[in-house]
Amino acid sequence: MSSDLRPLWAARGVAVIGASDRAGAIGRLPVQFMQRYGYAGGIYPIRPDGAAVAGLTSYSSVAEVPGQVDLAMVMVVADKVIDAVRDCAAAGVPVVVVCSSGFAETGGAGAALQDELVTTARELGVRVLGPNCIGTVGTATGQVSSFSPLFSGERTELVPGHLGFVSQSGALGYGAVSLAFERGLGLGWVVNTGNEADLTATEVMTELATEPGCAGLLAYAESLGDLPSLARVVAGGTPVALLKAGRSEAGAQAAASHTGALAAQDRVVDAALRQAGVVRVDDVDELLDVGDVMGLVDAVRGGSIRRVAVVTTSGGSGILAADAIEARGMTLAQLSEQTLATLEEIVPAYGSTANPVDVTASVMSNPALFNDALAAIAGDEGVDAIVACFCVLTGSDVDQVVTALSRVRQQTGVPVIAVRTGADHLAPQASAAMRAAGLPVYQTPARAVRALAALAEFARPRRPRPEARPVPEGDQDWAALDEQGLKDLLARRGLPVPVGRKAADRQDAVAAVEEAGGRAVAKAVVPGLLHKSDAGGVVLDVTPDRASEVFDGLAAMGGEVLVEEMVPGGVEALVGSTDTPLGRVLSVGVGGVLTEIVADVALRLLPVDRDDVEEMLDETQLGRLLAGVRGQDPGDRAALVAAIVGIADLAAELPAGAELDLNPVTVLTEGQGCRILDAALAVTQTGD
């Protein structure tokens, strides 16, 4: 169900259903706030007795309002909300904000009432924000259609800007908005989504991204939905940063397979957001810090921000910045010989021309020298960005720094992030001056570099995502596949499995070992036994003379015996898939018996392509292992990539609830391929 959501922040008229004239009453605050902040649209209090509210005429129903109403705030008790929505629908109001509580957040009857509300609204063609919602704000129009106490503060002023802020939490969300306004970070649109019975944060963000002048979106979420839409927002050029709560999942049940155990929910969230191009942050400060660099995205889009130069007047700040740069996966830029020679003529001997560049207080006191030093660094082709660190800036030093940094930024296009470590009272206007000059400013090097890393992610070119292919219909009984059956299927798909088969008896075991090349691995194939090694169900280096004895021991475990060729040692990988609330996830990581102890795995939501797989290998130690370590020959990376792509295609065809666990997949030396040595498929649900 779609509709124009702009009335949430740009309504021509707002009706407040359940309005009150009592000072401090929830039903009075939106009326009062819209008056206070200069909302020019119609404000229409709705109350049964028609008494005036905040000096405005009220009406007994929305239908009686003489002006245009395209947003209604519903602030009556829960059991009267549905009647209020019907009133809005009769008056042609397309969007309502249900501020009332007493719905799904209370469980039981409240949840049933919320379901009825949504059903009724959809039948009537009305979109619902909430319930249990504090409201929305359009700062450019002064539309404070909210009852948040933030807007009753004596010093609260709206700070218009080009960022949207969407929050599932009302109180936390408006607390974050207050911090944004306090630091001077302008917000154009603020929306609290409450219970999200109908409109979701993702749907609101998708709409906000179409607003002219929207430079980015900040959001707080406790649950995720419709990530493909969010990915399209990012692909369309709007950067998104998200504070997703709930990293720890107490009581979460790990799946039986290695794959399921490693695909913990928060790791899946990280992977899904990364695939969508969304920058995930860990706290409110970081969310706002990232918002501060969103204004630089258009200037750096499509480029690379990896090599960073640090300019400082403090050796300590330079060291902290260097530490943060490495921790965030970037590098200190290697300055060219020409740049170093130029700096040698400018920086005193007690400073440093090596990156981090300590220009010293003496250079800072000479505007011409400081400008020359900055220009040399920014003009170096090996520099992608500059972090400029200053401590205890006072007086005219602020003007000099702002002028020099903004000039370099304008002349070279190199992004510049400023750090001012010192109390605000030392230079009360410093932050505002830097912000006005388009220079994001932070109190510590670590925060500045963290924001720069987000800018680098926003700037990274986005390639088209692979499209999901329809699952072919078939009569495959997935649940009946044991290891041999699964490997036969893998082989038919062109995937590399060892030579082998089940042995029928002691004598056949001898023949099977000989067919496998004279040295084999024997395994117990027992229903429900996933981790064979832990149970003693795997015997290595079986020769024909031991085959009968080994067969007897494994058969005694209650199943069949699989005999396969002995594959020489190589790099061991894990490849698997499992279902999550966000979709089916592919896992690739370090394999073998220490898989869960090492827990070095990369995750992606299906579908994936070859580029995704290459990235996954490099996100884990597999990339290094395949390159060859401690004198080892490189592994056959190309063969592993091809196998993983094929496995991902198969995983996409599995039924709901299936967990595929291939561990280890042994990668032999370059040119020798790889082999899927162990394969398990668990199906907990086979359909309707």
Q: Report if residue 188 sits inside a domain.
A: yes
The residue that leads in pLDDT, 428 or 504, is 504
Q: Are strands 357-358 and 538-542 parallel, antiparallel or unpaired?
A: unpaired
Taking the CA atoms of the chain, what radius of gyration do you get in angstroms? 31
543 with 611, same domain? no
pLDDT at res. 460: 86
| Minimum mean pLDDT range among 279-283, 564-568, 598-602 | 598-602
Q: Which of 644, 533, 663 is nearest to 591 (CA)?
A: 663
165 with 274, same domain? yes
> What is the average pLDDT score of the chain?
91
Question: pLDDT confidence of 596, banded at 50, 70, 90?
Answer: low
DSSP-H helix ranges across 547-592: 547-555
Q: Report if residue 679 sits inside a domain.
A: yes
User: Cα-Cα-Cα-Cα dihedral of 402, 408, 409, 410, to 10°?
Assistant: 100
103 with 221, same domain? no
pLDDT at res. 688: 42
Q: Report if residue 472 sits inside a domain.
A: no
276 with 256, same domain? yes
The whole-number average pLDDT for the span 548-574 is: 92
Letter string b/e over residues 579-600, b meaning 16 or more CB atoms within 10 A of that residue's CB:
bbebebbbbbbbbbeebeebeb
Question: pLDDT confidence of 3, banded at 50, 70, 90?
Answer: low
- pLDDT tens-digit map of 432-451: 899 989 999 999 999 999 99
How does DSSP classify residue 231?
Answer: H
**Amino acid (1-letter code) at residue 46:** I
Q: Which of 601, 607, 685 is nearest to 260 (CA)?
A: 601
Q: How many DSSP H helices and E strands does the chain contain?
A: 25, 28
Say if residue 241's pLDDT is above 80: yes
The tokens for 376 are 């040399």
Q: In what order do the strands lie in the sheet with 143-146?
A: 143-146, 135-138, 187-192, 163-167, 216-221, 240-244, 279-281
Question: pLDDT confidence of 258, banded at 50, 70, 90?
Answer: very low
The tokens for 373 are 């030093």
Q: Report if residue 378 sits inside a domain.
A: yes
The whole-number average pLDDT for the span 18-44 is: 97
- What is the tally of structural domains in the chain? 5
Domain with 34 in it: what CATH number? 3.40.50.720
pLDDT at res. 253: 40
181 with 249, same domain? yes
- pLDDT tens-digit map of 8-21: 999 999 999 999 99
**Amino acid (1-letter code) at residue 578:** T
Q: Report if residue 550 sits inside a domain.
A: yes
Q: What are phi and psi of 356, to 5 degrees?
A: -70, 135
How does DSSP classify residue 384?
Answer: S
Q: Are strands 307-312 and 385-391 parallel, antiparallel or unpaired?
A: parallel
Question: pLDDT confidence of 251, banded at 50, 70, 90?
Answer: very low
509 with 597, same domain? no
pLDDT at res. 259: 46
CA distance 365 to 398: 11
Q: Report if residue 479 sits inside a domain.
A: no
3-state secondary structure of 62: helix
CA distance 354 to 332: 10
Domain with 603 in it: what CATH number? 3.30.470.20
pLDDT at res. 255: 36
Question: pLDDT confidence of 569, banded at 50, 70, 90?
Answer: confident
- pLDDT tens-digit map of 486-533: 999 999 999 999 999 999 999 999 999 999 999 999 999 888 776 677
Contact 195, 105 (CB under 8 A): yes
Say if residue 686's pLDDT is above 50: no
The residue that leads in pLDDT, 255 or 289, is 289
How does DSSP classify residue 296?
Answer: G
The whole-number average pLDDT for the span 192-213 is: 96
3-state secondary structure of 14: strand
The whole-number average pLDDT for the span 84-97 is: 97
Q: Report if residue 558 sits inside a domain.
A: yes
CA distance 602 to 271: 8
**Amino acid (1-letter code) at residue 348:** P
Structure pTM? 0.89
Q: Which of 408, 414, 420 is nearest to 308 (CA)?
A: 414
DSSP-H helix ranges across 148-188: 170-183
Domain residues for the domain of 626 are 571-683
DSSP-H helix ranges across 217-352: 227-235, 258-262, 265-276, 284-293, 297-300, 315-327, 337-344
Cα–Cα distance list, 575 to 255, 263, 647, 660 (Å): 15, 12, 8, 8
pLDDT at res. 166: 98
199 with 241, same domain? yes
Question: pLDDT confidence of 469, banded at 50, 70, 90?
Answer: low
**Amino acid (1-letter code) at residue 13:** G
The tokens for 593 are 């018996």
CA angle 455, 461, 466 (to 5 degrees): 125
**Amino acid (1-letter code) at residue 239:** P
578 with 549, same domain? no
Say if residue 576's pLDDT is above 80: yes
Question: pLDDT confidence of 597, banded at 50, 70, 90?
Answer: low
561 with 575, same domain? no
541 with 583, same domain? no
Q: Report if residue 489 sits inside a domain.
A: no
Q: Which of 17, 18, 12 is nearest to 42 (CA)?
A: 12
CA distance 410 to 371: 13
Point out which residues pair with 243 in neighbouring strands: 220, 281
The residue that leads in pLDDT, 215 or 246, is 215
Which of 535, 565, 595 terminates a domain? The answer is 565
pLDDT at res. 530: 66
CA distance 177 to 201: 16
CA distance 400 to 636: 56
Say if residue 312's pLDDT is above 70: yes
Say if residue 338's pLDDT is above 60: yes
The tokens for 488 are 């036969």
| Minimum mean pLDDT range among 62-71, 122-131, 303-312, 393-402 | 393-402
The tokens for 461 are 């070119």
- pLDDT tens-digit map of 383-410: 999 999 998 888 778 888 899 999 999 8
pLDDT at res. 133: 96
| Minimum mean pLDDT range among 30-39, 136-145, 296-305, 650-659 | 296-305
CA distance 678 to 497: 9
Q: Which of 642, 513, 503, 492 is nearest to 561 (CA)?
A: 503
Contact 285, 447 (CB under 8 A): yes
The tokens for 604 are 């992606």
308 with 323, same domain? yes
How does DSSP classify residue 304?
Answer: -
Give just the sign of the alpha carbon dihedral 641, 647, 649, 651: negative
| Length of the chain counted residue by residue | 688
Domain with 256 in it: what CATH number? 3.40.50.261
Which of 565, 583, 617 terminates a domain? The answer is 565
Which of 459, 483, 512 terminates a domain? The answer is 459
Q: Which of 380, 360, 441, 381 is nearest to 406 (CA)?
A: 441
316 with 255, same domain? no
What separation, in Å, do the N-terminal and C-terminal C-alpha atoms of the chain show?
27
